[in-house]
Structure 1
């Protein structure tokens, strides 16, 4: 696979506090960023759990006037973000705690970006429209190991009116402080552990294969894949395995760190399906992954052989990697086809058209046509490898 350009900009993430029990440093982290009245943004499921109440208690005991906003869908929408902005302004909050999975963190980052701006949320997609001095600080606390949004400078938000996922980006959007506390992930059910973990694998895999010059990201992606191989099955088998949970949090952050190199067709197709069917992003990535690998096979065989050797697979070639992905999905009880999760072929042509326009398609290992994306989707629907 040929590198498209040796001219690129590199940036690496933020201050990360790693280890069991580090949630105790939440209030201190907020204080270091000048927050006196943070808004904790999470999802409805987490909002009712003790881990959120514990986080709020930590903040209140430190004298912080913390508020809560939790009206976030699994695929966060522009309406969710705008409602969060309204809550931010109503409570006169001066910072954001992004607490939860990728959906809550993406929404929280968008609220912090656009909350004090004079432009609308969608206008804020253009960094030139954003006054960086008005952006609010963010402390990110992931409770799933998948998206790595806690170390990213973008959010994926669904535009309900146009039925598409839009990426909101700003170079200063990355949370200033991240807390990776595996104890917060112990209650994640096996199916969600598997789906989010496969999302982390998708990020690392596509970053490794992106045709852009970024050897540091390439190395991180390779090691991120190894962590997923070693620890995701453990975390799914035994949700109380703190070490496996910690390693998967790290693999997740590594994937998002690495994908500044680029993503690819796994995400282009998953974003399109998710916008139309409101399906879980990590699960979609997991299902379409081998079909994308097959579609890209002609240009990724050398890289796949290198990855297979690094991972210590029985066969050090493309087929070795494909077999491993298929075996891992089976072990984790990931469905083999999109049809198994209720997706149909009625929007196949539209998915092809949407996928080629998705920003992640730009760095796929090879450029696919809309017709090829449509066929890729149909292959994933029917199980045609």
Structure 2
């Protein structure tokens, strides 16, 4: 079947507008959600770039009283969310535009969730504390292809006081409208394209392996992995490959759609390391991935063989999948060990304890002990496969 255009509107898992140049519809999307004074939330790096000014101008020309908040860290914190809520209230904003990578989108979703509530961010970890009628509408515009947060009903926020990553969840937290415009990702550097793309792969891979019954998510995850295989190397080699950029945005959204089935030890360990070392989440996932595959090998070999067949790998078995991940990571120029990014072994025992408590550990392919998580971390630190 020949696809005549990559521009389309999807209503799964939310309203998604896909195609190059569709950022021009941002003001219209805000209007459809009743926003007259949206707050655009992004990170400091993006705030200085023309794509943010373009988005602001689109809204100004439509008569929207738009504001800008960009004090978001690479691993967003509770303090960042509190500052965003203060900006929301100061400008009397009636909705949120979540613009950027997963960090900005996660923070923006949390601001929209809690901004008008009578509870704190950490109290909002219990969805029963939220009055859904007070939640603000969100338009999400991803500029990286990794987290898929634009189609998710949760945010990952760092609790600085307790040095832990917390998941804030609400069933109505998914942005009402998403714009997937590959033109916004053209300026993403190759290394960041690679790291965020491996994050998308981690989501699809772990969702595919999660030991829960959800055939729809399983199928989405399998196709998401295929898109990563086909298009991530292209996007890294040529950042102006608009088709590759669009397909990676789609693969990212697919991963986050699929992981309602569950995630696993890749994320459990990465969340723990990220909270302690403030490292890039996608890069951590890329490094940890093969070590987790080995830790889970005894229970995932049939699934790995099925995935290898679907992906058309030379060897349709576990080793074929492992070799593909290792070769892909090398092709993208990503490190093989945690030591290469400045992580040390001083907190190994703590990382084991934190990982087993992480919510994503519940749906790992097999249940690991704290000692096994600690050893997994040490393997990734030293390169022991």
The answer to whether structure 1 residue 74 and structure 2 residue 74 are counterparts is: yes
State the partner residue of 1:347: 347
Contact 1:213 1:261 in 2 (8 A): yes
Distance 1:305 1:12, change over 3 A: same
The answer to whether the 8 A contact 1:4-1:211 is kept is no
Shift of 1:77: 0.1
Q: Deviations over 1:329-382 (max 9, x none)?
A: 000011000000000000000000000000000000000000000000000000
Deviation string, structure 1 residues 194-222 (Cα, Å, up to 9, x no partner): 00000000000000000000000000000
Matched, 1:133 2:133: yes
Deviation at 1:40, TM superposition (A): 0.0
Q: Is the Cα–Cα contact under 8 Å of residues 145 and 196 in structure 1 kept in the other structure? A: yes
In the alignment, the residues of structure 2 paired with residue 63 and residue 211 of structure 1 have an alpha-carbon distance, to the nearest angstrom, of 50
- Over 3 Å counting, the alpha-carbon distance change for 1:194 and 1:139 in structure 2 is same
SS of 1:9's partner is: strand
TM-superposed CA distance for 1:237, in Å, is: 0.1
SS state of the match for residue 10, structure 2? Answer: coil
Answering whether residue 288 of structure 2 is matched by residue 288 of structure 1, we say yes
For the residue of structure 2 that corresponds to 1:96, the secondary structure is strand
How far 1:10 moved relative to its partner?
A: 18
CA deviation after TM superposition for structure 1 residue 268, in Å:
0.1
CA distance 1:4–1:139, change in 2 (3 Å): closer
Structure with the bigger RCO (C-alpha within 8 Å, sep 6+) is 1
Deviations 1:216-240 (A, max 9, x none): 0000000000000000000000000
Greater mean deviation of Cα atoms: 25-34 or 12-21: 12-21
Aligned to 1:89: 89
Query: Do residues 367 (structure 1) and 367 (structure 2) align?
Result: yes
Query: For the structure 1 residues 369 and 7, does the alpha-carbon distance in structure 2 shift closer, same or farther, using more than 3 Å as the test?
Result: farther
CA deviations on 1:154-192 (whole Å, 9 max, x unpaired) are: 000000000000000000000000000000000000000
Alignment check: 8 A CA contact 1:203 1:263 kept: yes
Aligned to 1:303: 303
SS in 2 for 1:336: coil
CA contact (8 A) 2:339 2:381 kept: yes
Q: Is the 8 A contact 2:153 2:172 kept in 1?
A: yes
Q: Does the C-alpha gap of structure 1 residues 10 and 346 become closer, same or farther in structure 2, counting only changes over 3 Å?
A: farther
Is the contact between residue 8 and residue 19 of structure 2 (CA under 8 Å) also seen in structure 1? Answer: no
* Distance of aligned partners of 1:140 and 1:3 in 2 relative to their CA distance in 1, 3 Å threshold: closer
- Partner of 2:97: helix, strand, or coil? strand
Deviations 1:293-324 (A, max 9, x none): 00000000000000000000000000000000
Shift in Å at residue 12 of structure 1? 5.7
C-alpha deviation, 1:3, in angstroms: 36
For residue 17 of structure 2, give the secondary structure of its aligned residue in structure 1: strand
Deviations 1:126-152 (A, max 9, x none): 100000000000000000000000000
Q: Shift of the alpha carbon at 1:251?
A: 0.1
Question: Aligned pairs, how many?
Answer: 385
SS in 2 for 1:97: strand
Offset at residue 124 of structure 1 (A): 0.6
Partner of 1:356: 356
| TM-score, normalised with respect to structure 1 | 0.97
CA spacing shift, 1:9–1:66, aligned 2, 3 Å: closer
Match of 1:193 in 2: 193
1:7 Cα offset (Å):
36
Q: Deviation string for 1:85-107 (max 9, x for gaps)?
A: 00000100000000000000000
Asked whether the equivalents of residues 141 and 180 of structure 1 are also in contact (C-alpha less than 8 Å), the reply is: yes
The answer (yes or no) to whether the contact 1:3–1:212 under 8 Å persists in 2 is no
Q: CA separation in 1, counterparts of 2:9 and 2:36?
A: 35
Per the alignment, residue 98 of structure 2 pairs with: 98
Distance 1:3 1:93 in 2: 40
Please state whether the residue corresponding to 2:225 is helix, strand or coil. helix
Aligned-partner SS, 1:5? coil
Contact 1:102 1:142 in 2 (8 A): yes
Contact 2:8 2:18 (8 Å CA) reproduced: no
Q: Please report how far the alpha carbon of residue 13 of structure 1 lies from its aligned counterpart in structure 2 after TM superposition.
A: 1.7
Aligned counterparts of 2:126 and 2:11: Cα–Cα separation in 1: 19
5+ unaligned residues in a row in structure 2: which ranges?
none
- Distance change in 2, residues 1:5/1:212 (3 Å): farther
**2-side partners of 1:6 and 1:243: how far apart?**
8
